[in-house]
Structure 1
Amino acid sequence: MNNNAAFLPDNYLLTGASGVLGGRILTELLTTTSAKIYCMSREKDLDNARSRILEMVDMYDSDSKVGDQLSRISVVYGDIGKDLLGLNSDDYATLASQAQVVIHCAAKLSLIAEYPSLREENVAGTERVAKLCMEANIPLLYTSSFSVVGSKLYESGFVLKEDKVDYGQCFDDMGYEQTKFESEVMLNELSQKGLQVAIVRPGNIWGDSQNGRYPLSGTTVKGIYYEMIRALVETGYTFHSTDDFDITPVDYVAKASLAVVKNIHTVQGQTFNLVNPNPPTYNAIVDLLREYGYEVRNVPCDDYFQALHEDRMLLNGKPYHSSFTDILALVSDEDDLSEQAKYDTSRIQALLKETDIRCPKLDIKLMTTLLDHCVASGLIKSPADQHPLAEISEEITAKVFMEHLYDA
């Protein structure tokens, strides 16, 4: 095999096709290749699994470009949480023979669950997928996360390089992040034993840069930054922060991931940070919200966080709560926990240099595209319908924050 030739498989095995990134990668494969895509699902009702996967494709495919390509999708059973992926030996061998490359996006995602409840699926499951690839002698693209930075997130001057994962970082109360870290370490060890693997680390995935599409309806977890937008619009309050807020459109992550697959024979063993090389600051995001037409009032940081902590930010006479404000209220009494880490993207930018794949900067054009979809999906009201806004009361209400957070 010519290792310099582009790798263009006829058959892909994709896990997590009903997820935010997996669904966009599937849509990209249908748009840009003629390959057959085996989508692995742990749901034994494969017809229902197919329906959920096709709903994700339809959501991303705003121009109906791939409607006549859906026959190339084949949904197959497989559970990464079980030995042999929940299959008998014959079916396992059949699955191993069907694909020429595996793109592993499936994971149990929870930012509050503890590590033991996530390890079996996220770490042991990844090891099972890697074992399948080694036995079939096919390459693996593993979707990790830039959150492997762990506690280094708050260290001034820290840069997460693309050629290193272990910096001695801690993962206290970061169960999901720890599973991604351990999976990377495990895969790097297996690469020394013959596994053909490349790793990508997406940042905070936002909607498609061309149409804003993102699964905001029908999901309980919309992504913390979408919850941030919702809280800013609903309360009309903000605070000053110059922290970087990574915004990485999902189409960039999908296209960059497939570019890595295309070059996997020359980049095997390597890791790529798929984050925005030009992240906006929190203040810049707020300014773009204002430019779009929303009223967002500045409050001194201490006043903002104290109002959250004491349940004094009221909307329609009731204390305002959202995933974003609840997290802020939890850390309001802590020492400085501003995000300081930076992320090196030189390796992925070098790989993409001869392509037209670029991560777009967040400007008013992109923000308008993203917000238009948020409004159309019902996540937020339009600027014309934004009122009433929240008010900060001088009276401290009965403190029920922890009970509320527990219920949530």
Structure 2
Amino acid sequence: MQTHASYIAPRHATERKLVQIWSSVLGIEEISIGVHDSFFDLGGHSMKIMETLAKGLAEGWHVTVKDYYDLQTIQKIAQKIDHGSTDYLHSDASRLKFHKPPKKDIAHATYDPIGNVLLTGVTGYLGIHLLAELLDGTNSKVYCLIRGRDPRSRLLEQLSFYFHDKFEKYKVMLSSRVVIVKGDLSEKQFGLSDAEYAQLDSTISSVIHSAALTKHFGNYADFEKANVTTLEELISFVGRNKRLHYMSTMSVSGHVSFGKEQRVFTEDDFYVQQNYEDNVYVKSKFWAEHALFQAISNGVDAAIYRVGNLTNRHSDGQHQHNIEDNAFMSRFKFMLQHGVASNQLISNEIEFTPVDACSRAVVALIKADASAGENYVFHLYNHHKVGLGEVVQLLHKSGHAIDLLDGAAFQDLMLRLSQDDKHIHDIQMLMAAGEQLEGDYAIVKHDSLQTQIVLSKSGFYWPQIDALYVQKIVTYLQNSGYLPVNEMRSLIQHV
């Protein structure tokens, strides 16, 4: 199967090895793969990329998911492998109109800070917890925009999964305080008729937008449509008589080159010369904020909530429905499953932002009308970060031993696992969880002091991360089947 007439066979060792790997992963003959053929035209997709990266690890290659989407062919990927990192420049940074959040015109903001709420993304991890918090902590009527043939069943399924103990209570509320709006954010007027749209427009006081495409790789056009274009549609709906509460991400802070002065990313910052383009999700959220800043400068009333690393519920350790897609949990599972961590990362700080705490913080800020003033950007992450060494100690207290390996030993383990078909999936998940930067970047330091002060006035404080919480996470991973007990290495094996 040749994808085009101008077939060119591999010409050197790297190209030949890439062809072998692609042949194995894609299940096609080597003779069918030319150096100009696209990985995707040959049947490749995101998980197939993971498999090729894992096999390439055994060759000592450092290729990223983004490289596959950007370069696509044997020739270009081999060139990157042989001649170093591809230089991704901020090709669109010149389009930036805002480097900081613009001042807000609040003269017209005289309406109820909550009122009737339109909530998007309600079937997602944060969205379903925002719904629960609105039902438990306010008297608002919540209009849930849900796509699909049977949106009511989708919502009931999520409520049953996340809130088994409160399910009957919430089920009753579906006929009194929850209104299901069958629609699609990606369509004009959400796919509603003129009459339906006008009725919704006259009913809603505020919009909480938590829907997003959150995968970390793919074609940027898909992310732009899901995360930027849909926000622009909501901005049009909000107009000047509603307030829009937009759930963004702390990841828009990106990272900066080593050697530059240290960057601190506060609520008053937007562009600090960070690299926001390496990750398609982050890039789309960055430009979504930019679109919202433009709307705010034109008189739209909005607030931005930059959310951190959402983790298991603090109350009971419950995590998201599709936990296997969560990057952080993939790392956590790998550490528990293999009982190892790299001592090169021992000083790395780890952020745990429990989803129930985060949803309480969002609703607390909305109820307090916190965004009515000049400050309308909030950093919602648990600032009680813990180092990897502390996490290892907390796991030890819970009976789970983790060995710290030096860089060479950890790399050797990665290589051995990548050569074993039984463990290739572990490597794929670790790679999907978050690829290492190429060595010339540093993470921007986050700051949330302004938000902490505002939250404290509402009596909200982020929880400390202790052994009890860590054990709740482990217990949930076991009970959910995501990490079977027989796959965990415990202290018993170390006696």
TM-score band w.r.t. shorter chain = 0.7 to 0.9
For the pair 1:239 / 2:342, whether they are aligned, the reply is: yes
Q: TM-score, normalised by structure 2?
A: 0.70
CA RMSD of aligned residues (A): 3.0
1:59 paired residue among 153, 161, 168: 161
- Alpha-carbon distance change, 230 to 320 in structure 1, aligned in 2, over 3 angstroms: same
2:246 paired residue among 113, 128, 142: 142
Q: Report the counterpart of residue 335 of structure 1 in structure 2.
A: 439
Structure 1 distance, partners of 2:118, 2:320, is 22
- Alpha-carbon distance change, 274 to 153 in structure 1, aligned in 2, over 3 angstroms: farther
Q: Report the counterpart of residue 27 of structure 1 in structure 2.
A: 132
Q: Helix, strand or coil for the counterpart of 1:144?
A: strand
Structure 1 distance, partners of 2:233, 2:375, is 18
- Alpha-carbon distance change, 159 to 30 in structure 1, aligned in 2, over 3 angstroms: same
Does the aligned pair in 2 maintain the 1:233–1:294 contact within 8 Å?
Answer: yes
Does the aligned pair in 2 maintain the 1:243–1:340 contact within 8 Å?
Answer: no
Q: Report the counterpart of residue 189 of structure 1 in structure 2.
A: 294
For the pair 1:299 / 2:405, whether they are aligned, the reply is: yes
Q: How does 1:206-355 map to 2 (within 5 A)?
A: 206-216=311-321, 219=322, 221-240=324-343, 241=345, 242-262=347-367, 263-264=369-370, 266-267=372-373, 270-309=376-415, 311=417, 318-319=423-424, 321-327=426-432, 331=436, 334-335=438-439, 340-355=443-458
Any unmatched runs of 5+ in structure 1?
390-408
Give the drift of 1:269: 5.8
Q: Report the counterpart of residue 37 of structure 1 in structure 2.
A: 142
Paired-residue identity, %: 25
Q: Report the counterpart of residue 358 of structure 1 in structure 2.
A: 461
Structure 2 distance, partners of 1:222, 1:9, is 32
Q: Helix, strand or coil for the counterpart of 1:199?
A: strand
Q: TM-score, normalised by structure 1?
A: 0.84
Q: Helix, strand or coil for the counterpart of 1:14?
A: strand
- Alpha-carbon distance change, 56 to 2 in structure 1, aligned in 2, over 3 angstroms: farther
Give the drift of 1:129: 0.5
Does the aligned pair in 2 maintain the 1:191–1:269 contact within 8 Å?
Answer: no
Q: Report the counterpart of residue 185 of structure 2 in structure 1.
A: 80
Any unmatched runs of 5+ in structure 2?
1-105
For residue 147 of structure 2, what is the amino acid of its counterpart? R
- Alpha-carbon distance change, 306 to 158 in structure 1, aligned in 2, over 3 angstroms: farther
Structure 1 runs of 4+ aligned residues shifted over 6 Å read 1-6, 153-156
Structure 1 distance, partners of 2:298, 2:292, is 10
Bigger Rg over Cα: 2
- Alpha-carbon distance change, 346 to 159 in structure 1, aligned in 2, over 3 angstroms: same
2:303 paired residue among 186, 195, 198: 198
Equivalent pairs counted in the alignment come to 379
- Alpha-carbon distance change, 54 to 159 in structure 1, aligned in 2, over 3 angstroms: farther
Structure 2 distance, partners of 1:282, 1:353, is 28
For residue 276 of structure 1, what is the amino acid of its counterpart? N
Structure 1 distance, partners of 2:409, 2:264, is 32
Structure 2 distance, partners of 1:351, 1:232, is 36
